[in-house]
Amino acid sequence: MVILRIVSRAIAAAIFFAAAPAFAADNYQTDIGPTPKNGRQGANVQGRGTVLATLDNNKFSLQGKFSGLSSPATEARLHVGNVMGGTGPAIGGLKIPQAQSGEISGTFTLTRDQIAALKLGKLYVMLDSQSAPKGNLWGWFQPEHVTVPPGVPQMDHWYIPNILEDESNDPAKKRNS
Amino acid sequence: MFKGRGKVSMGAFAAAVALSAAGAAGLWASHALAQPGVVAGPFTEAQAQAGQAVFTGRCASCHEAGGETVRLISSGFTDVWRARTTRDLYTRIKTTMPFGNPGSLSEAETASVVAYILKGNGAAAGATAFTPATDVSINTIIAARRDAYAGYVSLSGMPAATGITFPGTVAKYTPVTEEMLLNPPAADWLMHYQNYAGWSHSPLKQINTKNVQNLQLRWVWSLDDGERQQITPLVHDGVMFVSTAINNKVQALNAATGDLIWENSLGPRLENQVNATARAMALYGNQLFYPASDATIYALDARTGKVNWKFKISNYGRDKVGGMMIADGKLIAGLGVCDEASLQDRCFIAAYDVKDGHQLWKTYTVAYTGEPGGNSWGKMTNAERSGADAWIAGTYDPKLRLIYFGTGQAKAGQNGIGDKLFSNATIALDVDTGKLKWYHQTAPDEGLDLDEVYEKILVDNGSQKLLLSAGKPGILWKYDRTNGQFLDYVPMVFQNVFTSINRKTGRGTYRADILKPEPGNSRPSCPAQSGGHNWPAASYVPEDDVIIYPLMQICVTSRGDMIGNFEAPASDGYLGRLSAYRVKDLKPVWTLQQRAPFLTSSMTTAGGVGFIGDWDRTFRAFDVKTGKTLWTTRLGTTAQGFPTTFTVDGEQFVAVPTGYNGGSPQIRPSSMFAFERNRPLVGHAVYVFALPKAQ
């Protein structure tokens, strides 16, 4: 099941990124997973999805899928958080079906600050559902990177988001990415 | 805790039912323990009910997970709080909770949580509302619960036996010498990390990358369920020593067959969840040293299990023996769970004489006023300074005559006070005197529980004498272990606590909103308190100069109703990661990820094979050069503890403990897995594998 998810995500990424222009566009991706919960809330906060996106100048286009919700989705939005892994105000709404699975899409014209926030990993998708009206799935956009099935080793280098200024300013010392 | 087996007295049965109900149904079920005639508590039913809602929204993500732990309803609470007042409890919660955002609960919310906890522990609601000024001795309103626990009997219906409960003698036992610890025999696993350098690596190579897929279960030995099960099965002369923290039972087993040789039920038996964990026993001479959950170190005759001597290293509260080791013929132990604001509860590392347990030296890890580092605690009084527990065993460089320990976070965890020395640090002590030689603090002045207490791995790279360490932020630090000079670092998981790290000093700069929370905004911490790295230790493979770290990718956030744990950004839902780095230059070598976090240490061998177990019951062998999985098997419950390997009569075995209970590395994923994955909440054991006899 997980391998299927990874493979389908890779195919979707290939199609999506292949359709994007080869110049000037930056590709992003996020795996949207369950929002914070404790054991009691677990049944209401289920599901997973993948959203791919392209930034072409200031046009941010995103498209993805979600499934496995324990109740129909109600609303999804693009947000900008205070930090990668943090929350913040909505930029705008995303198109989703009122269903437990389906596609998610949207297009935005980002401001300069929002583009800067995107490059710092602060932009995230939030999807609500009937049983989790304050957040069911979320995920922060990352630059396009390789993902692998569980248990499959990656050799020599791999992607880990990094907010450390020293490292990001000195490519020679940048590791793991 | 109370499994049905044999006859049980009606009184015990009633207690068992009540306690089981409390565990199954949560805090509210325990009110059944309140007895008629108990003095009404200083709170109302409405407050207690309101407190349940607050607890669920703001506290449960840490204090309760997956319905399997009810951490504030046990003797773990009553032992600490019965001698105090409701006002003390109110103040503690109001000033230190919730995690990451202390002081954010209103007075009414705090009062309701106090009411909820008191009721959960057996106090009866009354007509008078609880206020911040309410000051009643807790012991006077929760006595009924203590009475209920007092009726414990063993599963057989008889009072739980203590002392030697299975007599026997090891037929042939060679005293463990300092020379053996300096150069550990390949056949044995004599100490927590196999060698003084903390490598968790064995020179054995009978089991290798070509035949490991043939491993078979040779024997399994069940251990008493309950409490945190994170043991290291020590092996010497074909004898395996194991223990259970719930009742402080120590056993010697035939390491080839799993037959019991002797058993000593030291006691006391504990109710659930009081932070007891006997990770590291120690062997020296003819003695086996056991860190009991009541802060007592026992010196047992390793041949018979009989007690030679015992020494209680702390008489305060719920203190525990933390990390324990032998170095230079001395027994070295840290104090753990020493986190109460009291002059009597001050964390330390101390050396004891192996002959009789008398103290040789003691070094405190919390600096008081007037001492070196004493100014780093701001305006906090000495009594208010606590934490910096040394709860993980240290390592030792016999040539430098230095022992290396880590320390945990300061208590209470708040930012903006001062560095709070010597919390969250790697420290080097003179083995002869205990004098502090150097320290390096990786998370000064923090309130996010960023322990740096874990294994200190010693590696020589040419003339460089290195120390490698990783704490909860998941950053691998490299030091010169002769003087503590910071050399290099590499983040092994996503972290958003630090925005920069000074490459000359190694000191990190916290994200601005950690030091000064932004009203209305979330305050996430990646990693969460479960840590990017935690007690499951790394291993070092000298043949490849590779260090292999078990890692976890969980974040936590706090903002109103959005408190709880979540998958780290870009983790793709993989909570567990296992990563290898070359020590020489910290270059990434390989990594693998999976949904379930790893909850054993990484244990490697000269056969090129590594072993590791996870939350989801999988125990795997991997190629240390590539990370490729070579063999897996499923165990009865979560693999948890420190795998070891050894030989008996020339045959190599691999041992792995299992246990379902544990601290934040086990609780947080359990909360996140609720309704997704399951594992039995029984099954503490040690499993032993070997190749088929014909091989």
Average of per-residue pLDDT across B638-648: 98
The predicted-structure confidence for B587-627, as pLDDT tens digits, reads as follows 999 999 999 999 999 999 999 999 999 999 999 999 999 99
Tell me which chain B residues have a C-beta less than 8 angstroms from the C-beta of A88. 521-522
Which CATH number goes with the domain that contains B73? 1.10.760
Question: Residue A48 half-sphere exposure, CB side, CA atoms within 13 Å?
Answer: 14
Amino acid at position B226, single letter: G
| CA B387 to centroid of chain Cα atoms | 14
Yes or no, beta carbons of A84 and B494 under 8 Å apart: yes
Cα distances (Å, whole numbers) of residue B160 to A146, B167, B316: 57, 17, 25
- Looking at the structure of chain B, the number of domains it has is 1
Return the amino acid letter for B165.
T
Q: Taking residues B236-242, what's their average pLDDT?
A: 98
Chain B neighbours among A 93-132 (CB < 8 Å)? 121
At residue B71 the predicted structure's pLDDT band, cuts being 50, 70 and 90, is low
Q: Between chains, do B569 and A142 touch, taking CB under 8 Å as contact?
A: yes
Residues 6+ away with beta carbon under 8 Å from B13: none
What mean pLDDT value characterizes chain B? Answer: 87
pLDDT at site B693? 87
Q: Which of A29, A45, A157, A160 best tests the B interface by mutation, with the highest count of B CBs <10 A?
A: A160
Q: What was the pLDDT predicted at B62? A: 65
Mean pLDDT of B192-218: 98
Chain segment A78-87, per-residue pLDDT in tens: 999 999 999 9
Give me the residue from A40, A145, A158 closest to B591, CB to CB.
Answer: A158
Q: Does B149 touch chain A (CB under 8 A)?
A: no
pLDDT band at B446 (very low <50, low <70, confident <90, very high): confident
Residue B37 domain flag: yes
Asked whether the CA dihedral A31, A35, A40, A43 is positive or negative, the reply is negative
Side-chain-side CA neighbours of residue B203 (13 Å): 7
Q: Is the ipTM of this complex over 0.90?
A: no
For B92-233, strand residue ranges (E) read: 124-126, 163-166, 201-202, 216-222
In this model, does residue B166 exceed pLDDT 70?
yes
Tell me, rounded to whole angstroms, the distance of Cα B464 from its chain centroid. 31
Which domains does chain A carry?
A: 2-149 (2.60.40)
In chain A, which residues have their Cβ closer than 8 Å to the Cβ of B567?
33-34
Domain extent at residue B40: 10-150
Asked if residues B642 and B548 have their Cβ atoms less than 8 Å apart, the reply is no
Inter-chain residue contact B592 with A85, CB threshold 8 Å: no
Residue (of B272, B281, B276, B203) closest to B235 by Cα position: B281
Q: Verify whether the Cβ–Cβ distance A153 to B592 is below 8 Å.
A: yes
Does residue B560 surpass a pLDDT of 80? no
Which one of B68, B494, B500 would you mutate to disrupt binding with A, by most A Cβ within 10 Å of its Cβ?
B494
> Phi then psi for A88, rounded to 5 degrees?
180, -170
Phi, psi of B506 (to 5 degrees): 80, 5
Cα–Cα dist A27/A14, whole Å: 11
The minimum CA-CA distance between A11 and chain B, rounded to whole Å, is: 16
Answer whether A124's CB lies under 8 Å from A79's CB.
yes
pTM for this structure?
A: 0.85
In a domain, B133, yes or no: yes
**Higher confidence at residue B48 or residue B624?**
B624
Name the minimum distance, in Å, from the CA of B591 to any CA of chain A.
Answer: 5
The verdict on B589 touching A (C-beta cutoff 8 Å) is: yes
Does the residue B205 lie in any domain?
Answer: no
Q: How far apart are CA B257 and CA B247, in angstroms?
A: 24
Does the pLDDT of residue B69 top 50, yes or no?
Answer: no
Q: Is the pLDDT of residue B630 over 90?
A: yes
CA torsion angle B76 B82 B87 B91 (round to 10): -20
Question: Please, which residues bridge with residue B464 across strands?
Answer: B461
- Which residues from B are below 8 Å from A152, CB to CB? 592
3-state secondary structure of B138: helix
Cα distance from A18 to chain B (closest Cα, Å)?
Answer: 22
Do the Cβ atoms of B555 and A147 come within 8 Å? Answer: no
CB B599 within 8 A of CB B579: no
Rg, Å, chain B Cα set: 24
Higher pLDDT, B140 or B248: B248
- Backbone φ and ψ for B70, nearest 5 degrees, come out as -125, 80
Q: What tokens were used for B231? A: 């043991």
DSSP structure string for A30-52: EEEEEPSB-GGGGGGS--EEEEE
Instruction: Tell me how many residue pairs between chain A and chain B have CB atoms under 8 A apart.
Output: 174
Percent of chain A with pLDDT over 70: 77
Residue B667, amino acid: I
pLDDT score of B477 more than 60: yes
Which residues from chain A sit within 8 angstroms of residue B511, using beta carbons?
Answer: 83
